Amino acid sequence: MANAKAIKNAMEEALAGIKPEKTKVMEADEFLKKVKGRIKKLKISARAAAGGSIAKGTFLKEDHDVDVFVKFSLKYKDKNLSKLLKKILSPFKPDTIHGSRDYFSVKNRLDFEIIPVLDIKKPEDARNVTDFSPLHVDWFLKNGKGLGDDVRLAKKFCKACNVYGAESYIQGFSGHVLDILIAYYKGFVPLLKASLKWKPKEVIDFYKIHKGRALFELNKSKTQGSLIVVDPVQPDRNAAAAVTEEKFNAFIESARKFLKNPSSSFFTEKKIDKESLKKKGAIVLQAEPKKGKEDIAGAKLMKAFEFIGKSLDNFGFGVKKSGWKWDKKKNAVFWAIPKLNKLPAKLEWEGPPLHMENRVKEFKKKYKKTFKRKGRIYAEIKRKHTTPESLVKELIKKKYFTDRVKKCSIY
């Protein structure tokens, strides 16, 4: 493990490049002030507050999305909160985003997402999962004092090693999980050091609510992954349920490498070098996502990427190495390095056993060149694709693929 000074220097260098300018916070405050003015004017019993990373002091320089919670009094618990919020936001001409409870988007230099919630003080008053979100902010402000920069470093570190985000197409560490982990271990470096000792089914229980029995007391469906982080706000929930074994192991491996040879490069997201991949024999695709909610569009891209890999395997080319990346602002990049770049022009197709006479006759009618081997009939047929490029050109035109990707081309 490297000395403490080298680790500190790498972190300080990284932090200098990821902390946001004060103007971003000022713009968020200005918008918040306007929303509060509308609530007051309409005499609605609600209050607006910053949410997410900007409220916790963990906002990154590259971030443009700002959460704003409009907390409605419990007297509105049976009302349509989305409809009430739309009335408040009418001067801003917001876009509606459909969900379990509709929320709204207002785009300026920053992209504001305004979410209607009930102003709950205890979990049992919640009517929707989003009602808990402000409690997450309150929890971190109380338990993560002075650790905002540590969370910034953790988020950027996870982004750089492609394990950040609980979305279905990422299946990694959410910002909320990193908040809990940083507060639990009291810093970024302590988290990295602790992760080297993690075992599968590692349990983090901040308040020791389950007294070492989280694996037995939580619903089995919530403890299938490698990491169990008991949500301190909702103790019956595993906040890290999305984290797959792959992402769990990738985080630990990156932690090990950083602690051994610290560098600010561990906080820099790597772009896919398409030219370099081509030289290594990769097939590289550029895929434009379908329009719609980010998580849904991302899940479709992931399915399309997996379809390419499975098809290369099934056709006999195999896959040595593959990957994909989508930065949400641009097209996604898929790539795969096949194990074989050429297959024979002819293929032996296995038929039924010889004792199944009727099926053997049907097989002979279907295929011209047949032969027998070890009690079974075979046919020699012309292979449709002898190169992986030829196969991929066909795959990206298939309905399964086009249903999930708007446009795609081979780079």
- CA nearest neighbour of 179 among 223, 226, 141: 141
Per-residue model confidence (pLDDT) at position 393: 97
Q: What is the pLDDT of residues 280-332, one digit of tens each?
A: 999 999 999 999 888 899 999 999 999 999 999 999 999 999 999 998 778 99
Per-residue model confidence (pLDDT) at position 122: 85
pTM: 0.86
pLDDT beyond 90 at 64:
no
Superfamily of domain 148-267: CCA tRNA nucleotidyltransferase, domain 2 (1.10.1410.30)
Per-residue model confidence (pLDDT) at position 327: 82
- 3-state SS of 75-120 is HHCCCCHHHHHHHHHHHHCCEEECCCCCEEEEECCCEEEEEEEECC
56-70 CB burial, b ≥16 within 10 A, e <16: bbbbbeebeebbbbb
- CA nearest neighbour of 58 among 232, 188, 250, 233: 188
Mean pLDDT confidence for 263-288: 95
- Identify the CATH assignment for 346-382 out of 1.10.287, 3.30.70, 3.30.2390, 3.40.50: 3.30.70
Contacts of 14 (CB under 8 A, 6+ apart): 153, 156, 264, 266, 267
Per-residue model confidence (pLDDT) at position 294: 87
Mean pLDDT confidence for 262-284: 94
Per-residue model confidence (pLDDT) at position 372: 95
Mean pLDDT confidence for 78-98: 95
pLDDT beyond 90 at 271:
no
pLDDT beyond 90 at 171:
yes
Name the one residue in this structure whose structure tokens are 């719609």: 292
User: Letter for the amino acid at 357?
Assistant: E
Each domain of the chain, given as residue ranges in start order, spans 20-130, 148-267, 274-342+386-410, 346-382
Burial of 398 (0-12, 13-18, 19+ CB in 10 A): exposed
Q: What is the pLDDT of residues 345-385, one digit of tens each?
A: 998 999 999 999 999 999 999 998 999 999 999 999 999 99
Q: Other CB atoms closer than 10 Å to residue 375's CB: what's the count?
A: 8
Look over the chain and give the mean of its residue pLDDT values, rounded to a whole number: 94
Per-residue model confidence (pLDDT) at position 1: 77
pLDDT beyond 80 at 26:
yes
Q: What is the pLDDT of residues 188-214, one digit of tens each?
A: 999 999 999 999 999 999 999 999 899
> Is the CATH number of domain 274-342+386-410 3.40.1550.10?
no
Tell me which of 316 and 109 has the higher pLDDT.
Answer: 316
Question: Would you say 288 and 304 are in contact if contact means Cβ atoms under 8 Å apart?
Answer: no
Q: What DSSP string runs through 315-369? A: TT--EEEEEEE--SSS-EEEEEEES-S---SEEEEEEEETT-HHHHHHHHHH-SS
Q: What is the pLDDT of residues 215-260, one digit of tens each?
A: 999 988 889 899 999 999 999 999 999 999 999 999 999 999 999 9
CATH topology agreement for domains 20-130 and 274-342+386-410: no
pLDDT beyond 80 at 36:
yes
Q: What percent of the chain has pLDDT over 70?
A: 100
Per-residue model confidence (pLDDT) at position 81: 97
Per-residue model confidence (pLDDT) at position 24: 81
CATH number for the domain running over 20-130: 3.30.460.10
Tokens of 2: 């490297």
Mean pLDDT confidence for 130-153: 96
pLDDT beyond 90 at 158:
yes
Mean pLDDT confidence for 47-64: 93
